[in-house]
Amino acid sequence: MTLEAIEAGLGGCFERLPEEAAGGRELYRGKVRDVVRGEENLLLVASDRISAFDRVIAAVPFKGEVLARISAWWFERCADLVPNHLLGGGSPRELGGTGRATLVRRLDMIPLEVVVRGYLSGSAWRDYEAGRPVSGIEFPRGLARNEKFPVPLVTPTTKEEGGHDRPVSRAEILERGIVSEELWEKIERAAVALFRRGQELAARSGLILADTKYEFGLAEGRVFLGDELHSPDSSRYWWADSYQARFFAGEDQRELDKEPFRRWLSERGFCGDGPVPEIPAKVLVETALRYIQAYEAITGESFEPIGGDAQSETAALARIVRERLR
Ligand SMILES: Nc1ncnc2c1ncn2[C@@H]1O[C@H](COP(=O)(O)OP(=O)(O)O)[C@@H](O)[C@H]1O
Ligand SMILES: [Mg+2]
């Protein structure tokens, strides 16, 4: 996509699904996605909203479509490992008229964010540096920032109402009865298998999947993978070619995700509290470009939007709700 096309998209961001399009169904608004709930299914609508520090900050053109389609790409490629919530004909491409909708099986969600880490980075690094265990796991001393772990580690957090999730240990998960031991072990195995597949396919595209998070749920007594899969919003990707040199020099990794956007905010003193600063068009366009590049790097395909303007997409979404949502 050209820079001009992205700039032209600035005015037409899809900020939210209008209430009417839900056709009387229950509508849940998450930070980034609007979810229309049927009895058996859900329609996940990825908006163009961008969040940072658990706050919604702005709208980024094409972001919703990019994220919905990256997840769908991964769901297809990981379906043999763990059953997932994507329904037949429910991918953004198959639904048509909009690239941001995904039709999924409604799950009874397990209130955990199952974080898997291949590298010591982000909040895990901050905890480690401060001498705190990470989700109850004590790491050996002397590790460096962004160092690779010998094996991927599962460091779950609780999923709290209104954001600000909290690291939780395996012992606490079992004590509080969030899941049984048997179910937790199943989830851990599934998460590690997904992560290894993620790393393997990312590596073929010259990327490192440094960490990610999964959400699982139950249906018909079985565990399903829900939510999103290896999207840049739920994952940290680095470019592989510069990893070693930057690691040994103690420099930041080149990231594929919204870290530059977060950095722009924190350089202006915004860390989640107080009024959200006005984001200049230039920063929004650069952020959109990053998301599109992420799509292209991960899938190896050039990004051609399926969706149109917000009005035509709303009409398409209302039709999908009417005709497809059970
Ligand atoms: N298959 C599913 N069944 C039920 N709920 C789901 C499913 N997949 C995802 N969800 C939930 O839908 C919501 C997605 O919206 P999101 O913008 O991520 O919201 P949040 O701010 O709550 O994380 C999340 O609460 C997620 O747990
Ligand atoms: Mg979420």
Distance 227 CA to ligand 1 centre (A): 6
| Closest ligand to Cα 29 | 1
Q: Please identify, by atom number, the ligand 1 atom nearest to the C-alpha of residue 32.
A: 17
| Residue 163, pLDDT score | 63
Mean pLDDT estimate for the chain: 95
Q: Are residues 165 and 158 in contact, defined by beta-carbon separation less than 8 angstroms?
A: yes
Cβ(35) – ligand 1 distance below 6 Å: yes
> Whose alpha carbon is nearest atom 25 of ligand 1?
30
Residue 1's pLDDT band, with cuts at 50, 70 and 90, is confident
Cβ(215) – ligand 1 distance below 6 Å: yes
Domain with CATH 3.30.470.20 in the chain: 109-248
Structure tokens at 78: 């990981």
| Closest ligand to Cα 47 | 1
Query: Shortest CA distance to 199 belongs to which of 159, 149, 249, 157?
Result: 149
pLDDT in tens, 280-318: 999 999 999 999 999 999 999 999 999 999 999 999 999
Which CATH number is 3-106+302-324 given?
3.30.200.20
| Residue 160, pLDDT score | 79
Classify each residue of 282-307 as buried b or exposed e, where b means 16 or more C-beta atoms within 10 Å of its C-beta.
ebbbbbbbbbbebbebbbeeebebbb
Cα separation, 121 vs 100, whole angstroms = 30
Say yes or no to pLDDT of 244 above 70: yes
Q: pTM of the prediction?
A: 0.96
pLDDT in tens, 176-217: 999 999 999 999 999 999 999 999 999 999 999 999 999 999
Cβ(107) – ligand 1 distance below 6 Å: yes
Cα separation, 127 vs 157, whole angstroms = 13
52: part of which helix (H) or strand (E)?
strand 49-52
pLDDT in tens, 15-63: 999 999 999 999 999 999 999 999 999 999 999 999 998 899 999 999 9
Which CATH number is 109-248 given?
3.30.470.20
| N-term to C-term CA, the chain | 36
Distance 217 CA to ligand 1 centre (A): 10
Among the listed ranges 60-69, 162-171, 195-204, which one has the minimum average pLDDT value?
162-171
